[in-house]
Amino acid sequence: MDWITESAQRAKKLRNHYKLHDIDIFIKDRLPEDIDVDFVLKYVSKRIPRHLLRNVDIIYIGQFKDLVDRQLNAMYENGAIFVTNHQIDDGAFIDDLVHEIAHSNESSFKDIIYGDNMLNREFKAKRNTLYRVLKDQMSVIPPKALLHDVTFNQEVDDFLYKEVGYTNLNSYAVGLFTSPYACTSLREYFARGFEQYYLGERRILKDICPVLYSKIHAIDTLEG
């Protein structure tokens, strides 16, 4: 009966269409053989409430020019999620999907997430603390934009990634951010918090980023 198992495995590898609830998923370029797409999608479907998937119409997996040019693993645009097929393991694949699902909800729940400016204030206060820590610990003065610009800023991104390095940044950001990437902009602060809420320990998010936790909890409990 080995041929049955082998045949099923071959069919699974060749399969290029999946579903996440009613969302179509198309694999344009093959994933590594050790990636279990069924497991990944089942895991995501159990963790993310269905009402937080409403803005995702379709998911594409493969190599895409925008991802390559911008050196991104994934992106959300106009109802579609694009994810690289270069995945190191199931966990990284899940992280990429959930991160972009987070971004898909920013427009629909803009008033809840950003409307009262409380999340902005929490993020800025953390950025100010990080600025002081980096200034004390490093010989290079951080860019002033780190204090004032909560949007994506190339100078800030280059400084954090190239000058500081995410490994060092992780130690400087302990107790301030849930991950080094959460420092890069207000939108990434939200998306990384979303990941922590649904994939990590909520208690840690609540302790470190209480406003961020309250915003995600608010949209989480809108339906359920």
Mean confidence (pLDDT) of the chain:
92
User: pLDDT digits over 24-57, tens only?
Assistant: 999 999 999 999 999 999 999 999 999 999 999 9
What domain count does the chain have? 2
Give 10-76 as a DSSP string: HHHHH--EEEETTEEEEESSPPPTT--HHHHHHHHHHHS-GGGSTT--EEEES--HHHHHHT-SEEE
Say yes or no: 136 and 191 in one domain.
yes
Do 96 and 125 belong to one domain? no
- CA-nearest of 59, 67, 74 to 26 is 59
Residues 76 and 19 in one domain: yes
116 and 165 in a single domain? The answer is: yes
Is pLDDT above 90 for 122? yes
Domain shared by 15 and 98, yes or no: yes
| Residues 30, 120 within the same domain | no
**pLDDT over threshold 50, residue 137:** yes
So what's the pLDDT on residue 223? 72
Domain that holds residue 178: 111-220
198 burial level (CB within 10 Å; 0-12, 13-18, 19+)? buried
Task: Assess whether 198 and 156 both reside in one domain.
Answer: yes
171 shares a domain with 77: no
Read off the pLDDT of each residue in 159-188 and give the average, rounded to a whole number. 91
Cα–Cα distance measured from residue 19 to residue 127, given in angstroms and rounded to the nearest whole number: 39
Q: Of 74, 104, 134, which closes a domain?
A: 104
Whole-model pTM: value is 0.90
